[in-house]
Amino acid sequence: MNTYDLTNRVAIITGGGQGIGYTVAKRILDSGGLVSVWDIDQGLLDKLAESLGADDHRLQALNVNIGDLDAVKKGVAAAIDKFGKIDILINNAAIVGPNAPTWEYPAQDFIDVIHIGLVGTFNVSRSVVPHMIKANYGRIVNVSSVAGKEGNPNAPAYSSMKAGVLALTKSLGKELADYEISVNAVTPAVAKTTMALSQDPEFLKMILSKIPRGRMLELSEAASMICWLASEENSFTTASTFDLSGGRATY
């Protein structure tokens, strides 16, 4: 496994209590970085220090609802207070919502999925970017989905939210192109996460059948790409999308 030089780089990772976010947090810590992990599940946060094997000065665990802009501002202030800067932002937090056709989809669930996954990503980016501009350095990686490219049937909210994350990535990346700040997105296929595995088995079977690799994405594979995008080596590419779909995506 390659090692990325993230020595003394400070990262905020939303939805970092489990799944892709957790795996990225561990990889950044193993690469010499410092991490502020945000999650809304306090139980997951309580276990972080022990499970990640990080000492207090390198790891911060914050209960933050990214759908609440005031809570996000407080989280950013707490990260700055502890670490003094923010070099990396991994916008990973999202919710999936139920599986149903668009004409039967619960209206409130649609609103909730969009609010957490898209408005929340906007809230965190809006609050972190001014600190990166001041330092003239930053790496932002937004975790979208192949569903944001192609649309999954019976997942209209999730597909729409992840498509919005891709558009936000391109917009913000172009706005920040004059700075030493890159903004990119990754589009995973279904991965071995608690959130993904909680979906209807028939739905999982359907989306798995679309992957030419014939298997789910491993969390370590997602972390490898995300951490490279978060490194100083990624100095030119911005406002772009990187595929993690196992061959499913056609563009």
Give the residue numbers annotated as catalytic, written as ranges. Answer: 158
Q: How far apart are CA 212 and CA 171, in angstroms?
A: 31
Q: Are 222 and 23 in contact (CB under 8 A)?
A: yes
Q: What are phi and psi of 238, to 5 degrees?
A: -150, 165
Contacts (Cβ under 8 Å, ≥6 apart) of 37 = 13, 16, 17, 21, 22, 25, 45, 48, 59, 60, 61, 62
Q: For the chain, what is the radius of gyration of the CA atoms?
A: 17
Q: Which residue type sits at 135?
A: A
Taking the C-alpha atoms of residue 251 and residue 249, their distance in angstroms, rounded to an integer, is: 6
Spatial separation of the C-alpha atoms in residues 229 and 182, rounded to whole Å:
8
- The 3-state secondary structure of 188-218 reads ECCECCHHHHCCCHHHHHHHHHCCCCCCCEC
Instruction: List the one residue out of 95, 99, 155, 98 whose CA is nearest residue 120.
Output: 95
Token pair listed for 75: 């989280």
State both tokens at 62.
């914050």
